[in-house]
């Protein structure tokens, strides 16, 4: 089984999409919003987007500011790399396995 570049790229796009959904959820449930954040949903997003934990030290980036979007663009790229590397590692391991 050979790893296709398309499969790795598709998986990286999933990582970016998960981060985009996380950011959209944060914007919709901002402190000025009547909607409140669900702790369970936030934990699911953190589980699906481990690089989001890097946003904790940079907590000064207010939702909607340019710093916020720069931070989350960086997190999205890291999440894409994370998902792509996992896909590549799994494919490499499957290729080593004898049929």
What does the domain layout of the chain look like in residue ranges?
Answer: 5-96
Q: What is the pTM (predicted TM-score) of this model?
A: 0.83
What is the per-residue pLDDT across 41-68, written as a single tens digit (0 to 9) for each?
A: 989 999 999 998 888 887 667 777 788 8
Q: Is the pLDDT of residue 25 over 70?
A: yes
CA–CA distance from 56 to each of 8, 18, 50, 52, 60 (Å)? 28, 18, 12, 8, 9
Predicted confidence at residue 99, as pLDDT, reads: 61
pLDDT cut 70: percent of the chain above it: 93
By CB atoms closer than 10 A (0-12, 13-18, 19+), residue 39 is exposed
With bands split at pLDDT 50, 70 and 90, how would you rate the model's confidence at 1?
Answer: very low
Of 28-32, 60-64, 81-85, the range with the lowest mean pLDDT is 60-64
End-to-end CA gap in the chain: 10
**Residues of 78-96 as b/e, b for ≥16 C-beta within 10 angstroms?**
bbbebbbeebbeebeeeee
SS3 68: helix
Give the best-scoring range by mean pLDDT among 37-41, 64-68, 95-99.
37-41
């Amino acid at each position: 089984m050979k790893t296709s570049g398309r499969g790795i790229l598709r998986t990286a796009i999933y990582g970016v999409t998960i981060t985009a959904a996380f950011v959209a959820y944060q914007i919709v449930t901002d402190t000025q919003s009547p909607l409140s954040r669900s702790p369970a949903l936030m934990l699911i997003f953190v589980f699906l987007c481990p690089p989001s934990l890097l946003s904790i030290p940079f907590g000064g980036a207010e939702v909607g500011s340019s710093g916020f979007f720069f931070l989350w663009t960086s997190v999205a790229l890291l999440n894409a790399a994370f998902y792509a590397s996992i896909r590549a590692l799994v494919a490499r391991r499957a290729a080593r396995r004898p049929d």
